Structures are given as structure tokens and as C-alpha cells.
Amino acid sequence: MELSQKSYLYIIFIHICIGFALFYIPFFPKIYGYGILLGGAFFVINSQNKNNEVLYAAAYIVGSEVVLRMTDGNPVYEFSKYGVMIFMLIGIYYSGISKNAIPYWIFILLLIPGLFIGVLTLSFHASLRREISFNISGPVCLGICSLYTYLRRISLNQINNILLMIGLPIISCTVYLTLYTPSIKDIVTGTGSNADLSGGFGPNQVSTVLGLGMFIFVSRLIYGSKTKMLLLINLFVVLNISFRGLVTFSRGGMVTGAVMILVLIAMTYFQINKRGRVKMNYLIVFVALAMLATWSYSSTQTNGLIDKRYANQDAMGRVKESQLTGRAELASDEWQTFKDHPYFGIGVARNQEQRFQRTGEIIVSHNEITRMLAEHGSLGILGLLILFVTPIILYLDNKYNIYILCFVVFWLLTINHAAMRIAAPAFMYSLSLLKVSLDEEEKPVIHRE
């Protein structure tokens, strides 16, 4: 079901109000967090998942995860990944799974040896459960989500609505960030990632969801802006999310969002006729100019430091030795661990413990690929191959899932700079496995006569 313009504007207004409430009402984040869980459970169980309601409930959890973390509104810190898994299992109970979803059964089974090795070898028993769950919850969440979505039939309009469910809480997050740091110039002093401009929370995670939000509302410019009013509203949302994402000074999420947008534009070109491409060219130019203006405004507000950040320079204009701020060393360390334990790996969370023993600091991996290799060894390689290859094979017979490569790109780029600390990469990856139908009324707005 497609939202009317009035309904669309209404729910956006509600989420702007939620952003204000999260900032000004101390107890509201907890109400919001528990409300999402209980409301989602009622929504899914009452409908018995007849129209894939679990995907909408899980999507909203994914979109709200970071803003709830920064406002301490989550029932527990890892609530979102576990919440998504619970809803997916409810969906599997009501709707079953494809008998051909064998690759993801194998993927989940491949995680078990590393889990056992971790349990048997970790020495800091006081935090054993927490450390293991932190490292394994992301891959398990991905596996369970993928079991549910594998070749599940859905319409393009439904995917757009699922993405909107992710995007709405990101609007609330953007409002909260604006209220948290209304003045940018007074805070920016360097070119490093800035927690003060990220709601007092981790800039990497905030940038990740804002980059995703930027992509979602650009997709609505293409697929959900039937009127000039909707076009302007969606553009306004895109520019505000983009600005707040840029001034976190965390590049990973924003670069990922930009790449997804480029991939979506390219994929859309294959689905529209010549006249539609002409219209899309005008849209691209219009959006590009607006984004350029946003960049210029960001540069002004940060006294030019945002330009230096993306040029990999410090505040004095000197080029930094590395763009990875220590992540290359972590990845290299995990690669060495894999070479030392190539068969079954060192065990879940064990690499993190060894770094703690060497340095006295708990340093969490930013790269899910090297972490999988270090902790699961050759079984990790097999698991990653399943994740890489399966969506590409499905795409050969699923070309109406216009977003498929965007979802895979988001997962791949995100796990390389933010691992799987949040539920978004797991859930977004699973959406690439959906079997999409494309009805005439669901074609891009720019395609219509």
C-alpha cells in the first residue's frame, strides 16, 4: 500500500516531534525504546505476519538503534540486533522459510566452531558472555535475517516502505543532533571524528545511519516523489541528513551512502526508457547542485575543516600518513592471527582479549572481514564467500530488485569501517535476497508519461 501525500507528511512531522521529545523530555527515550519493541510485537502478532510485517518492525528497530543508543533509550545496549532476530524468528514461525535457503544454514553452522573455541579459551570470565555476544551477534543476526528473506516474494513498493521505516527514526536522530549542537563553529577545532557533533556518541555509528538515511530519501526522490511538494520535502530531508552526517567528521558512513546513491542511479537507468532518462538527468543535476550547496554550507560552518578532513589533512593542512586512523594496524594484526591459526581461527573474541593482554586496552575491530578470518579461520572464508556470492547469483534471476547491489554495497563497505556493531548491515544485506516483482504502478516516478 502506497502512502498518500497527506499521510507521508504527517508521519514525517510526527518523527520531527519525536526528535524534539528525545532531546527535551528525559524519560521519553525509554518510553520510545520500549514502545518500539512492544508496538512492533503487537503489530506482527496481531497480523500473524500475513504481509511480512516483521520486515517493517525490524526495519524500524534498525533505523532507531543509534538514536536510542545516544539517548540511553535501548532496553539493553545490544537490544536492536536481538530485537531484529526475535522478530525474524516470529516471522519464520508464522511464514516459514524457503527450502532453498541452505547457504545460510551453512553460514550459521560455520560460526559454531569459532564460538566453542572462544568459550573454551577466553580467560576473562567475568565478561565472557558479553564479549562473545558482542562479536557473534552481528553475523548471527545476518544469518537469521537471511533465512527469512531468502527468495521471499515482495513488491518494489513494499521495499520502499521498508526503507521508509528505517528512514523515519533517522529523521528523529537528525533533529536530536541539531538540538544537541545547534552551533557548529564553536565546537569544531580539528579534523578528527567529533563526538560532540554526533550527539555525544560514536561518530562512526552516527555517520553510518545518517549515510543510510541520505540514501533512503534520495531513493524516495526517484521512486516516491509524485508531486513537487513531495520532491521538495524529500530534498529538504536529504540535505539536512547530509549536513549532519558531514559534520560528524566521520567519513565512512557518508562515503558509503554516496556510493549507494551512485549505484542506485546506475541501476535505475537500466529500468527506464529514453524519456525517463532525460527526466532523471534533470533530477540528478538538481540534486547535485543542492548537495554541492550543502557541502559549501558545511565548509563554511566548519571553517573549511571538513574540506581538509575529506582531503585527509589535519587542521594545519598537513596530509596524514594514513586515512584509517589505526584500523590498518588492527586489520594487519587480525590477518597475522589468521595466518597463525588458519583452520578454525583463534575463537570468538579471543583476538580482542590478546590485544588487551598486550596493550592493556580493549580495542574492538572495525573490520568484520579480517575479524571473521582471525576468529573463524578457513571457516570464516567459506562464510564470507557464501555472503559475497549468493546475492550476485540471485540477481541474475531477480533484476527487479533494483536495490540489490545497493544493499550489498552498504553491507560490504560498512563492515569494513564499522564492523557489525549495529544491526543495519545485517538487515540491509538480507534485503538483497528478496524476490521482487515490479508492477506498472511501481515504476520510477520519472518513468511515467
Give all strands (DSSP E) within 371-413, no chain letters.
none
Alpha helices in 73-202 (DSSP H): 79-95, 102-121, 128-149, 156-180
345 phi, psi to nearest 5 deg: 75, 180
Triad 291, 418, 427: Cα angle to 5°: 85
**Coil, strand or helix: which one is 300?**
helix
pLDDT value of residue 126: 43
Higher-pLDDT residue of 325 and 19 is 19
Q: Does residue 134 register a pLDDT over 80?
A: no
Q: Return the number of other C-beta atoms located less than 10 Å from residue 285's C-beta.
A: 10
Give me the phi and psi of 273, to 5 degrees please: -85, -175
Rounded (5°) CA angle 130-203-138: 35
**Cell matching residue 384:** 564470507
Q: What is the mean pLDDT of the chain?
A: 88
Confidence of residue 186 (pLDDT cuts 50, 70, 90): confident
The fraction of the chain above a pLDDT of 90, given in percent, is: 58
Q: Report the C-alpha gap between 445 and 410 in whole angstroms.
A: 24
Least-confidence region, from 98-107, 322-331, 396-405 = 322-331
Rg from Cα positions in the chain: 22
DSSP 48-65: TTTT-HHHHHHHHHHHHH
Note the pLDDT of residue 350.
79
Question: Considering Cα of 182, then 187, then 193, then 199, what sign does the dihedral take?
Answer: negative
C-alpha cell at 320: 596524514
* 442: pLDDT strictly greater than 60: no
Looking at the predicted structure, is the pLDDT value of residue 324 above 80? no
Average pLDDT over residues 7-24: 96
Rounded to an integer, what distance in angstroms lies between the CA atom of residue 356 and that of residue 330? 12
**Is the model's pLDDT at 124 over the cut of 90?**
no
Crossing angle for the helix pair 274-301 and 203-223, to the nearest 10 degrees: 150
306-321 as b/e: b if 16+ CB within 10 A = bbbbbeeeeeeeeeee
Residue reference for cell 573455541 = 117
Q: Which residue has the cell 572481514?
A: 369
pLDDT of residue 188 exceeding 90: no
Distance, CA of 129 to CA of 126 (rounded, Å): 8
With contact defined as beta carbons under 8 Å apart, do 212 and 431 qualify?
A: no
Q: Give the pLDDT band of residue 447 (cuts 50, 70, 90).
A: very low
How far does the chain reach from its first CA to its final CA, in angstroms?
Answer: 22
Residues 22, 174: Cα–Cα separation, whole Å: 11
Distance of alpha carbon 195 from alpha carbon 204, whole angstroms: 9
pLDDT bracket for residue 329 (50, 70, 90): confident
**Average of per-residue pLDDT across 362-382:** 87
Q: Which pLDDT score, from 0 to 100, does residue 263 have? A: 94
Q: How far apart are CA 242 and CA 288, in angstroms?
A: 12
In sequence order, the β-bridge partners of residue 313 are: 319
Q: In 3D, which of 269, 275, 261 has the Cα closest to residue 221?
A: 261
Could you tell me which residues are beta bridge partners of residue 153?
Answer: 435
Cell numbers placing 96: 516459514
- Residues found in the chain: 449
pLDDT tier, 362 (very low <50, low <70, confident <90, very high otherwise) = low
* Alpha carbons 58 and 427: distance in angstroms, whole number: 8
